[in-house]
Amino acid sequence: MDRLEGRVAVVTGASSGIGAAIAQELVKKGVKVVGLARRVEKIEELAAKLKSEKGELHALKCDVTIEEEIKTSFEYVKSKLGGVHILINNAGLMIYTNTLIDGSTEEWRKMLDINVLALNVCTREAIKLMKEEDIDDGHIVHINSICGHSPPSEHIVMYAATKHAVTALTEGLRRELVKQNSKIRVSSISPGMVKTDMAPKFIIESMPSMNPEDIADAVVYVLGTPQHVQVHELTIRPTGNVL
């Protein structure tokens, strides 16, 4: 039996792109997945397609920038599925052409709310539930970005700043968990260019890029490592891309 089979995972931003690919792959591995997104109908469509797979996909409407909606989602997970073993923090926002000199404060705030605050609220609620249910082999996975290590363009520096925050939050959480003698693991996965709706089409078409399924495969690899192994940071780039 696959070591992931029967476990419960929450995937944010599960309606399309990387999030949908991760949800699909986990369901195929026998995981009970709760997909969160504002466009819940997209997750419901995916769930219908996955009916014959080993796992199951639950669709929940959730705006991760609203703390109460996150809390309600985790209450659902507790009442319906008994707890959570895996959290995939995938929801994210990149606004291109938003420079530091001429950028919009509102657009900066949106990126910070989704990429940083929502990620950490979800993490806090997941770990809280893991502790309540005595789940000490849980796994938190942050979908980061190569921009979380070096900003490649002046047009996305604020986005890069939010992803640098994710890098810091990954290490900070690891240290907190170690201090508490917890066996809960935390991993950051930092993809390069991926064919999703997040990046402008002209950029994707101008350089080598990966598919959402490539990132889903990386998530499965990270989750499948032995309990004594923590993949702290995994960087994935498309072959031939200079960024």
The radius of gyration computed from the CA coordinates of the chain, to the nearest angstrom, equals 17
CA distances from 17 to 89, 185, 194, 197, 212 (A): 13, 25, 9, 7, 6
Q: Taking the CA atoms of 65, 216, 173 and 83 in sequence, report the sign of the dihedral they define.
A: positive
Residues marked active site are found at 159
Does residue 36 sit in helix, strand or coil? strand
Closest CA to 19 of 39, 1, 5, 4: 39
DSSP-derived 3-state class of residue 148: helix
∠ at Cα 155 (151, 105), nearest 5°? 105
